[in-house]
Amino acid sequence: MLIKRASDIASSEITPENLYHNRREFIKTASAVLGIAAAGAILPACTNSAVSGMTQSKPKGKYDTDEKPTPYEDVTHYNNYYEFGIDKADPAANSGKFKPTPWTVSVEGMVKKPASYSLDDLLKGLTPEERLYRMRCVEAWSMVIPWTGVPLAALIAKLEPTPAAKYVEFKTIMRPDEMPGQRPSIFGSGLHWPYTEGLRMDEAMNPLALLVTGVYGKPALAQNGAPIRLVTPWKYGFKGVKSIVKIRFTDKQPLTAWNEAAPQEYGFFANVNPQVDHPRWSQASERRIGEFYKRRTLMFNGYADQVAQMYSGMDLRKSY
Ligand SMILES: Nc1nc2c(c(=O)[nH]1)N[C@H]1C(S)=C(S)[C@@H](COP(=O)(O)O)O[C@H]1N2
Ligand SMILES: [Mo]
């Protein structure tokens, strides 16, 4: 079921000229894996591969899935992180100069403890929780990733937003010297930097919202968003903003990077919803990385019991 037709979107709005150098590879990959004719538009893409790797041996967390983790090699070599380039291999290949330490996070806006925190100070007193989450990316590929991190709710409780705060906004670091994708270039991604994401306060307080510092029990690598990134497993992958340096509490819905770049395609909520298609492809099924047959996509990525009540009374076709 289409909520918006592809023809409603002027391709000039969503397809920066400069993306064409990668268009052939995009089309090859997208049409091979999805069976569609990719239109050369920008996609917040993840990718597909079948490489064997480590298995998970951590104690089971409260919300862990029983599904088999995606190999470490895939989790760390097939990434989406446009600051390092728009190909899936770019983040691993181009992040060698990136330094995740020292790290400072600025907490701003409607909050009782605004300050510039070192990462250690920011996370001081919070309980690390190890969980295995399924992450679903927007173009019907999915991975199962054993993340390590702290619940976002615990950090928010510690920072004490004021009652006026209705949303929390996150921003990625600006470091054009270390992040080639942030430099002015005809090969740019079409996104405006810094990468921005946001959650409504109740979403941010949901126990599934995680600030990730590790992957497979090791510190997260640059390509996975080191030293700290967001993971919201009931939402599409692009909500998971990487290398966060700014957390701002606000009463207005933040303008997020993908929503700004292609509003008809990427909404603020981005909840996984098999009934609401992306304008250019179905979101009813997905291909787990390393698997051949597609699976039926579950409402809220299988986490409806934990998150559905937050959206009761909302029209999820409009609030996509
Ligand atoms: N700063 C920043 N964060 C980002 C992105 C990005 O380009 N820049 N890509 C998003 C998208 S589209 C996805 S699918 C996930 C991918 O996370 P992973 O590479 O750890 O699987 O990161 C998200 N976070
Ligand atoms: Mo994505």
Query: In whole angstroms, how far apart are CA 148 and each of 88, 95, 113, 151, 220?
Result: 23, 21, 25, 10, 9
Q: Which atom of ligand 1 is nearest to the CA of 223?
A: 19
Give residue 45's pLDDT: 55
Q: Residue 90: nearest ligand to its CA?
A: 1
Q: In whole angstroms, give the CA distance from residue 152 to residue 143.
A: 21
**E strand or H helix at 106:** strand 104-109
Identify the pLDDT of residue 257: 98
Specify the residue with its C-alpha closest to ligand 1, atom 5.
81
Helix (H, G, I), strand (E, B) or coil at 18: helix
113 C-alpha vs ligand 2 centroid, how far in Å? 32
What ligand is nearest to the CA atom of residue 143? 1
| pLDDT of amino acid 18 | 34
In this structure, the strands spanning 285-288 and 196-200 are unpaired
pLDDT digits (tens, 9 = 90+) for 178-235: 999 999 887 777 899 999 999 999 999 999 999 999 999 999 999 999 999 999 999 9
Question: Which residue, 89, 45, 37, is CA-closest to 190?
Answer: 45
User: 238 in ligand 1 pocket by Cβ < 6 Å?
Assistant: yes
Q: What is the pLDDT at residue 12?
A: 35
Residue-by-residue pLDDT tens, the chain, 320 positions: 333 333 333 333 333 333 333 333 333 333 333 333 333 445 565 544 333 333 445 567 788 899 999 999 999 999 999 999 999 999 999 999 999 999 999 999 999 999 999 999 999 999 888 889 999 988 778 999 999 999 999 999 999 999 999 999 999 999 999 999 999 887 777 899 999 999 999 999 999 999 999 999 999 999 999 999 999 999 999 999 999 999 999 999 999 999 999 999 999 999 999 999 999 999 999 999 989 999 999 999 999 999 999 999 999 999 99
Structure tokens at 303: 């986490």
Do 195 and 173 touch, CB atoms closer than 8 A?
no
Residue 156 Cα to chain centre, angstroms: 19
Q: Give pLDDT, residue 59.
A: 63
The C-alpha torsion from 179 through 185 and 186 to 191, rounded to 10°, is 60
User: What is the CA(81)–ligand 1 centre distance, in A?
Assistant: 5
Distance between CA 157 and CA 198 in Å, rounded?
Answer: 17
SS3 264: coil
DSSP-derived 3-state class of residue 84? helix
Of 119, 130, 304, 138, nearest to 206 (Cα)?
A: 304
